Amino acid sequence: MIVTTSLMEEIAKLDPPLRTAFIEIMKGIEKAIGDVVTRRDFLELSDKVDRITNAVEELAEAQRKSEERLSRVEEALFKLAEAQKRTEERLNRLEEVVEKLAEAQKRTEERLNELIEEHSTTREQLGSLTHTVGYFLENEAYRYLPKLLMKDFGITVEGSLIRDYIEVSPNKYEEINIIGKGRKNGNEVMILGEAKTQLKKSHIDKFISLVKKIDKFYPFDKILICVTHQTSPLVRDYANKKGVKIYFSYQFV
């Protein structure tokens, strides 16, 4: 019983029946107080249990969500591994294609080098043929031009018409197809000519440019001629305007 010393002294002063009744009442009060304390503790304990239960349930839910996320991560990693595998397979195929292309490129370069050599040989042969045709045209011109120059200009060729180099500046020379000296009405003239199998406007321009370079070295009257197998009417008109006489190979008879 929860009693104090002074309370017990007062109880002892009571009559026995009253004292007994009072003690019973005190027991009841103590029991009641004990019951109250027990229920409060139970309620507090129950509340703690509820909180613990909720926490456990929250942990379980979090664990479930973590497992779901791990499952998704595993699935994503599996897909990534599959994609990586396909990428590596494609890279292997690309490497094979690149190797084949490299081999094809090598064969193409080898064939191209062969064609370049063949083309170089062909150009040399064509160049030789062109020179042969050109020289033939010039040689024919040397034979027949004196007669034509006399007929068209009254020029007497002195010596021979030749192919030679002519000085265009100090110690610098350029080849000219036809060069020679002649006289017209007693005056010395210089005969200069260009021979082309197919005469073009650009040939005339180049020839006139060469003549201008030698004017200061050869201050004589000059007769400018071009010899060709064929050319267009436009080129003939252009040559006439520039003071260049054209002779065709069919005139060499």
Q: What is the pLDDT of residues 155-210, one digit of tens each?
A: 999 999 999 998 888 888 899 999 999 999 999 999 999 999 999 999 999 999 99
Mean of per-residue pLDDT scores for the chain: 80
Q: Are 195 and 137 in contact (CB under 8 A)?
A: yes
130 Cβ contact partners less than 8 Å away, ≥ 6 residues apart:
197
State both tokens at 149: 């120059």
With H, G, I as helix, E, B as strand and everything else as coil, classify residue 58. Answer: helix
Spatial strand order of the sheet with 172-184 comes to 156-169, 172-184, 187-198, 221-230, 245-248
CA 158 to chain centre: 65
CA torsion angle for 152, 155, 159, 164 (degrees, to 10)? -70
H-run or E-run covering 166 = strand 156-169
CA–CA distance, 137 with 227 (Å, rounded to integer):
8
The CATH number assigned to the domain with range 141-251 reads: 3.40.1350.10
CA–CA distance, 204 with 192 (Å, rounded to integer):
12
Q: Are 247 and 240 in contact (CB under 8 A)?
A: no
CA–CA distance, 189 with 181 (Å, rounded to integer):
6
**pLDDT reported for residue 162:** 93
- Domain parsing of the chain, residue ranges: 141-251
- Highest mean pLDDT, choosing among 17-21, 49-53, 88-92, 142-146: 142-146
**C-alpha distances out from residue 13 to 17, 38, 182, 241, Å:** 12, 34, 183, 168
CA–CA distance, 130 with 177 (Å, rounded to integer):
14
Whole-number percent of the chain with pLDDT over 70: 73
Q: What is the pTM of this model?
A: 0.50
Nearest to 28 by CA among 55, 52, 2: 2
12 pLDDT more than 90: no
Which of the four pLDDT bands, split at 50, 70 and 90, describes residue 95? Answer: confident
Maximal C-alpha separation, the chain: 191
**pLDDT reported for residue 126:** 43
Q: What is the pLDDT of residues 106-125, one digit of tens each?
A: 888 777 777 766 665 555 54
From the CB of residue 236, how many other CB atoms can be counted at a distance below 10 Å?
A: 16
21 pLDDT more than 80: no
**pLDDT reported for residue 40:** 66
State both tokens at 172: 């610098």
